[in-house]
Amino acid sequence: MPEATGLTHTHLPGPTEYAPYYGRYIGLLEDRPLLDILAEQIRGTLELLRSLPEAKGNHRYAPDKWSVKEVVGHVIDGERVFGYRALRFGRGDTTALPGFEQDDYVRAAGFDARTLRALTDELEAVRRSTILLFQGFSAEALARSGVASENRMSVRALGSVIAGHERHHVRVLRERYLV
């Protein structure tokens, strides 16, 4: 993997780099290079999703819960939103960014009308893009921060949230959907 100036050393962002809510995702990560985590975890996630029969994509563990496809779509949307925030902040943009309502996104997306395979392929493409984005950030860019959803967050923390958010949802899939 090409070397990125600020991501080749072991580190997790400090608690001053993100809102407390995001600690639930960052706390799921081991303290090692973020690029390694992003690359390794997607391999396992893709393997899991590609092992599922297409019919499993519509499974919900309870009537009011998202389907497997909706969970995958939500992870894709979340990674795109957090990646966009990282791009803006990493480039020095100081514009405060709005939040996003995950349930509205899932309702509007129509993920259940798509195939699980198509969503899995999209997740893979989005992760490749995320890794390339973070490979290009200098140590200075990773330390930059901005405001999103009325909370200050560093670029480095956003990368960790991306990884932790995926890890959280894969754990939910394994524990609640695939039992």
> Cα Rg for the chain, rounded, in angstroms?
16
Please enumerate in sequence order all residues whose Cβ is within 8 A of that of 58, keeping only pairs 6 or more positions apart, or say none: 67, 68, 69, 112
Q: Which residues pair with 152 in a beta bridge?
A: 147
Q: Are 6 and 139 in contact (CB under 8 A)?
A: yes
Please report, for the chain, the start and end positions of each structural domain, with discontinuous segments joined by +. 26-177
DSSP summary character for residue 102:
H
CATH number of 26-177: 1.20.120.450
Amino acid symbol at 136: G
pLDDT by position in tens, the chain (length 179): 444 445 555 589 999 999 999 999 999 999 999 999 999 999 999 999 999 999 999 999 999 999 999 999 999 999 999 999 999 999 999 999 999 999 999 999 999 999 999 999 999 999 999 999 999 999 999 999 999 999 999 999 999 999 999 999 999 999 999 99
Question: pLDDT digit string (tens) for 68-84?
Answer: 999 999 999 999 999 99
DSSP summary character for residue 146:
E
The model's pTM is 0.94
pLDDT of 3: 47
pLDDT of 1: 41
pLDDT of 7: 56
